[in-house]
Amino acid sequence: MFFCVLLKAILKVINEGCFTGNMLKYIFLPCFVAISTFSVAQKAIDRRRQIDTAGKKDLIDLVKSALHIKPLSFEREQKKKVYFSLLPVSSTMPGGGKALFTTTTAGFYLGPRDSTYISTVTFAPYFNFTGRFGLPLRSGIWTKNNSWIVQGDTRFLFYPQNTWGLGGQSPEFNKFVIDYKYIRFYQSALKRITPYFFAGIGYDMDYYMDIETRDPNALRKFTGYLYGTSTDNNSFSSGITGNILYDSRNNDLNPLPGVYANLIYRVNARGLASNANWQSLYFDLRKYVSFANSGEKNLLAFWAYYWTTFGSGVPYLNLPSIGWDPYQHSGRGIEQNRYRGKSLAYFETEYRRDLVPNGFLGFVVFANVNSVSYPDNDNFSYWRPAGGLGLRLKFNKRSDTNITIDYGFSEGYRALMVGLGEAF
């Protein structure tokens, strides 16, 4: 019922064509009213949403066995503070080209495991041979008994990348390279209100520096967009966010059956040193349905998000674009940045299945579709599909972290993607 009310509120805002203070009641009030009707106290996490390691195997087990290292007892394992996963890789990276990168994830508990979600920190530096490198650090910290969730996303990037202009109809020959340096600093803190429901505020900063193209007029010529595209200026956006979160999944590295819903409303203001006054709305909804009666993975996952901006001064690089969602996981099989507009709608579904009872090996099949608004009338006239399949290897059963190897494809594009943790 809650999600129906919230979705109706989002659609009302979309139909209005603008976002005003009076419309806040259509978004936030239904959330608080609907969620407040839940009466079950979160004394413990549902057993279906707890990480089950009984009879499971991972790469760490295989290495210990090969080296004849005695595994820790259950009691000592439960006292262990941090579970690390490490993946050194040379592969194709989003946006094209070969890259050398490593991904390190750390999972840890800050409270009792039957009442506290696993916290995660991911550091994934990368480097390719065309001048692109990045130092991204993401974190999701759950305090004792899930009293607070503190989220962070910090990135420092040198990022030459292709862009195609605005709209879903932009032809392939419109492609040209835009080069820039980028610093992102996103932080938010959300307080637990009722079981699985959190609300709070945050601060988002995007700083694009030394924006360049081979043709100084290329961005304006091909996009017809005037904001944040000048080659002699940087683009700085600074804003406060209002955040609402519902999360019953327990683990974002490999979600268990449950629901995830996230609403972020961002207000950028000149008073916060932003170059322009503009706003954005991001609404993310995910559902995970299990068909297994035991610990074996047999799950269908659904993901949809709607991302839109308000105001005439939204910088070009801040406009919604495929593959630039908060986790940069959308559009598998589509080149990152391929479609960009003032609004973006996205849908994806994935089937996940273990191939062996101990969970060491599994596979996925996925399909997605996206559409960006038409530059002239904000309609969603073009829908771009993609699909693929993937292999899963269990790296760390304690944090339920998989090595993911996905092959995605769409019209005119193919890519192999390797990482740690599920796409959503």
Band the pLDDT of 11: cuts 50, 70, 90: very low
**pLDDT number for residue 179:** 87
Q: Apex CA 394: angle with CA 388 and CA 397, to 5°?
A: 140
Output the pTM of the full model: 0.84
pLDDT given for residue 48 in this prediction: 62
Contact assessment for residue 309 and residue 324, using Cβ atoms and an 8 Å cutoff: no
Report the distance separating Cα 353 and Cα 299, nearest Å.
6
pLDDT digits (tens, 9 = 90+) for 261-277: 999 999 999 999 999 99
CA-to-CA distance for 297 and 172, rounded, in angstroms?
39
How many angstroms separate the most distant Cα atoms in the chain?
66
Which domains can be identified in the chain, with CATH numbers?
38-420 (2.40.160.50)
Contact 384, 409 (CB under 8 A): no
pLDDT, tens digit, 9 for 90 and up, residues 30-74: 444 443 333 344 455 666 666 777 778 988 888 888 877 876 665
